[in-house]
Structure 1
Amino acid sequence: MSEAASRSGPGRVLIAVYAVFALAATARAAVQILTRFEEAPLAYLLSAVAGAVYIVAAVGIARRGRTAHRVAMASCAVELIGVLVVGALSIADPAAFPDDTVWSRFGSGYLFIPLVLPVLGLLWLRHVGRAEHAPSA
């Protein structure tokens, strides 16, 4: 698959959604950390981590090459684990999360997009990886 093809259609939409989430999570976390950190330090730090993961995933998906592909796969996997763990913990122990993170309750505050996004990212990366290694016609 050519570089142009890997960044068009579904790939382009995926990159755009990751970029929006990267900006939203990072900006929200920055404001919360700078203005109200003592209220919910764990939640705000987790939102900052989520923002960083979204940035790495967006760049990894947008770039071509084996290293970028591996970085994107790893960041999507970390994101999926994060949303599952934080989602479960935020339901099991709500007191530990006095304010929401991007991943709280499996991303319910964001229409569950944080839960679906890494799955779509991993599927897309698998598709692109297969296409890049398929014999040319």
Structure 2
Amino acid sequence: MADPSPASTRPRDAAIGTGAGRVLLLVYGIFALSAGARAGVQIATKFSEAPLAFLLSAFAALVYLAATAGLAIGGARGRMIALTSCSIELIGVLVVGTLSIFDREAFPDATVWSQFGSGYGYVPLVLPLIGLWWLWHNRPRP
């Protein structure tokens, strides 16, 4: 009988190496970079025009970065970081998305989460749902 390969003995929650997990990690990394770059430019060049919107974009970038790190770390600690980040992201996109529609004066310029992420093809709305689903589907089993 052959020895089990290291990949087959890995815990289920550390399976970020799978195709879907790698894609999720890549998308979160891209969003961390793009939201961070956007917020950095906006804060540096026109902060006084819409400080709330630009700070929310910077916050979104930090949430995406934390989710990326949690997914990359894996294990119980990484899983908790990713679950927390995806949950904060979902709440953030729902709250900011709703407020940006009903209180346009508070959001004179768009954030990553404005209008439920419409500026990013609604990926910010769908991404935390996919992330939470993936984490649930790949949770450790007793």
The 5-angstrom pairing of residues 14-93 of structure 1 reads: 14-93=24-103
Residue number in structure 2 paired with 1:133: 141
Q: Which residue of 119, 126, 129 maps to 1:109? A: 119
Shift of 1:133: 2.0
- Rg larger for: 2
CA distance in 2, matches of 1:35, 1:114: 24
TM-score by length of 2: 0.89
Number of residue pairs the alignment of both structures matches: 131
CA distance in 1, matches of 2:78, 2:28: 15
1:42-78 CA-partner distances (Å, limit 9, x unpaired)? 0000000000000000110122211110111000000
1:82-102 CA-partner distances (Å, limit 9, x unpaired)? 000000000001111000000
CA distance in 2, matches of 1:81, 1:2: 24
Q: Which residue of 111, 115, 122 maps to 2:132? A: 122
- Going from structure 1 to structure 2, the CA distance change for 1:70 and 1:92 (only over 3 Å counts) comes to same
Q: Percent identity?
A: 57
CA distance in 2, matches of 1:27, 1:2: 31
* Aligned AA (2:61): G
CA RMSD of aligned residues (A): 1.1
Shift of 1:6: 2.7
Runs of 4+ with deviation above 4 angstroms? none
Shift of 1:31: 0.9
| Structure 1 spans left out of the alignment, 5+ residues | none
